[in-house]
């Protein structure tokens, strides 16, 4: 049986089945209620049931006291609806609403996507989940106290493992370790989620995603999130790489293009090799956008990858009428570069 749930104060409404938790159903419908462990241990998902009845589920007493329960509170990661409900809780609308945590993780799986790109699948400790917005990044905390930033390549609804796409920097302390010494089951520490490069879900503007190399990682997370929400806006991905081998998973955006009529994919190679037999677009990725779209004033842009590409896109797109407020970016600065404040 299904129940209607109304969230106060936003007035958002969604439907939950008897066997779904209040949180599960909200996330499925694209409403970002806060959560941590998703397991009744941390209390982050606590909210008030203003009307209706729930089955509280199994949780730890430390996360929800008897007094809180008597006052109408419940843990939305464990509680299931038994009637229509009106609940009161805050919703995550911006990066500042999410708690930044430092936590350990285990390298669950490594997969070589290209000669110099590795996918790292990270598993969090039992009873822990990381809430994040599609497109944010995390900082790997190294033993010497230094940090290395990597974007989260999976979407928030698919958060059992965190996925990173790591490009090998010859001589790079962390990335070379990944390619030469790292073994599955290695323990890392990280801090996250970080940054303000996340998909703005409201609005109707068509979206241009511009990725250079592993700049595809956060954009993959954003697009998977957009498809999950059923966003109907027109979305185009321009993905630039040097040669065909650097375009490390082109079959994925090609599949999205077949499945979603509102999505198109334009791969762009800057230095195709003869053996690539490349018939597609060539040149710089942001130039390909400028060739295709004369007037950018009605668009929203998300750009990520090398600082040079992001800077050039920013400058040239604004000259073509893109409002400053509609340009979002993550420049893949090195850890010794100065970082703009998030
Ligand atoms: C917000 C953010 C998100 C990022 N997301 C990703 C991501 O998803 N995937 C990814 O592969 N990278 C990403 N990066 C870039 C990544 O953080 C760096 O490449 C990484 O820190 C390099 O670490 P290292 O220890 O291997 O190299 P270091 O030991 O820090 O550097 C060794 C040498 O290589 C140079 N160098 C370092 N990084 C780069 C680089 N990117 N390009 C060229 N030369 C470099 C340094 O100047 C230095 O001379 C991101 C960066 C930022 C700021
Ligand atoms: S998310 Fe931790 S108790 Fe619900």
Question: For residue 202, is pLDDT > 70?
Answer: yes
Rounded mean pLDDT of 211-234?
97
Give the span between the Cα atoms of 55 and 254, in whole angstroms. Answer: 44
d(CA 37, CA 128): 4
Inform me whether the pLDDT recorded for 340 exceeds 70. Answer: no
Instruction: Report which ligand 1 atom has the smallest distance to the Cα of 117.
Output: 11
Provide the 10 A C-beta neighbour count for residue 162: 24
DSSP classification of residue 92: -
Read off the pLDDT of each residue in 319-338 and give the average, rounded to a whole number. Answer: 83
For ligand 1, whether the C-beta of 165 sits within 6 Å is yes
Residue range 170-183: mean pLDDT, rounded: 96
| Tokens, residue 14 | 């969604």
Question: Which of helix, strand or coil describes residue 174?
Answer: helix
Supply the residue whose CA is at minimum distance from atom 19 of ligand 1: 334
Helix (H, G, I), strand (E, B) or coil at 293: coil
Pocket test of ligand 2: the residue of 26, 36, 103 to mutate, having most ligand atoms within 8 Å of its CB, is: 36
Q: What is the mean pLDDT of residues 328-335?
A: 83
Instruction: Name the more confident of 342 and 330.
Output: 330
Q: What is the DSSP letter of 160?
A: S
Separation of 291 CA from ligand 2 center, angstroms? 49
Q: Locate the ligand 2 atom nearest the alpha carbon of residue 38 and give its number.
A: 1
Q: Which of 134, 303, 334, when mutated, tests ligand 1's pocket best, judged by the most ligand atoms within 8 Å of its CB?
A: 334
CA of 45 to the centre of ligand 2 (A): 5
* Ligand 2 pocket by Cβ (under 6 Å): 35-38, 40-45, 63, 75, 77
Q: How far apart are CA 128 and CA 42, in angstroms?
A: 9
Q: Compute the distance from residue 39 Cα to the ligand 2 centre, in Å.
A: 5
Residue 204 token pair: 């109707």
Sign of CA dihedral 198, 204, 210, 216: positive
Distance CA 316, CA 178 (A): 35
**pLDDT tens per residue, range 134-168:** 999 999 999 988 899 999 999 999 989 999 999 99
- 229, 257 contact by CB (below 8 A): no
Q: How far is the CA of 110 from the centre of ligand 1 (A)?
A: 19
Tokens matching residue 234:
């027109």
Assess contact for 217 and 154: CB atoms under 8 A. Answer: no
State in Å: Cα 173 to ligand 1 middle: 9
How do residues 251-303 score in pLDDT, each as one tens digit?
999 999 999 999 999 999 999 999 999 999 999 999 999 999 999 999 999 99
> Which residues, in sequence order, are bridge partners of residue 281?
268
Residue 333, pLDDT above cutoff 80: no
pLDDT value of position 8:
94
Is the pLDDT reported for residue 41 higher than 90? Answer: no
Structural domains of the chain ordered from first start: 2-91 (3.10.20.30), 96-194 (2.40.30.10), 207-331 (3.40.50.80)
Distance CA 264, CA 92 (A): 29
What pTM, to 2 d.p., does this model score? 0.84
Residue located nearest, by CA, to atom 16 of ligand 1: 149
Angle at which helices 251-259 and 216-229 pack, to 10 degrees? Answer: 20
Return the percentage of the chain with pLDDT > 90, whole number.
79
């Amino acid at each position: 049986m299904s129940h209607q749930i109304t969230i106060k104060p936003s007035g958002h409404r969604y439907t939950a089945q008897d066997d779904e938790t209040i949180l599960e159903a909200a996330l499925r419908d694209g409403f970002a209620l806060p959560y941590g462990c998703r397991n009744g241990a941390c209390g982050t998902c606590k909210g008030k049931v203003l009307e209706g009845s729930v089955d509280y589920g199994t949780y730890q007493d430390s996360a929800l006291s008897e007094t809180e329960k008597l006052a109408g509170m419940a843990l939305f990661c464990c509680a299931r609806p038994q009637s229509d409900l009106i609940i009161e809780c805050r919703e995550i609308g911006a990066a500042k609403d999410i708690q930044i945590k430092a936590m350990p993780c285990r390298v669950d799986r490594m997969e070589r996507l290209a000669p110099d790109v590795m996918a790292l699948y990270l598993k969090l400790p039992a009873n822990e989940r990381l809430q994040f917005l599609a497109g944010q990044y995390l900082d790997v905390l190294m033993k010497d106290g230094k940090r290395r930033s990597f974007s989260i390549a999976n979407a928030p609804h698919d958060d059992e493992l965190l996925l990173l796409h790591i490009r090998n920097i010859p001589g790079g302390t962390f990335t070379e370790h990944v390619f030469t010494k790292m073994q599955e089951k290695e323990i890392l520490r990280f801090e996250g989620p970080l940054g303000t490069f996340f998909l703005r879900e409201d609005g109707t503007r068509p979206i241009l995603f511009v990725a250079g190399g592993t700049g595809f990682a956060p954009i993959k997370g954003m697009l998977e999130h957009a498809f999950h929400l059923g966003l109907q806006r027109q979305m185009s991905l321009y993905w630039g790489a040097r040669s065909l081998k650097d375009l490390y998973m082109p079959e994925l955006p090609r599949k999205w293009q077949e499945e979603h009529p509102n999505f198109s994919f334009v791969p762009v190679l800057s230095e195709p090799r003869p053996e690539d037999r490349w018939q597609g677009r060539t040149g710089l990725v942001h130039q390909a956008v400028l060739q295709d779209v004369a007037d950018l004033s009605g668009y929203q842009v998300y750009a990520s990858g090398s600082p040079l590409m992001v800077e050039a896109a920013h400058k040239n797109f604004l000259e073509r009428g893109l409002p400053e407020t509609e340009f979002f970016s993550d420049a893949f600065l090195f850890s010794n570069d100065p970082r703009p404040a998030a």
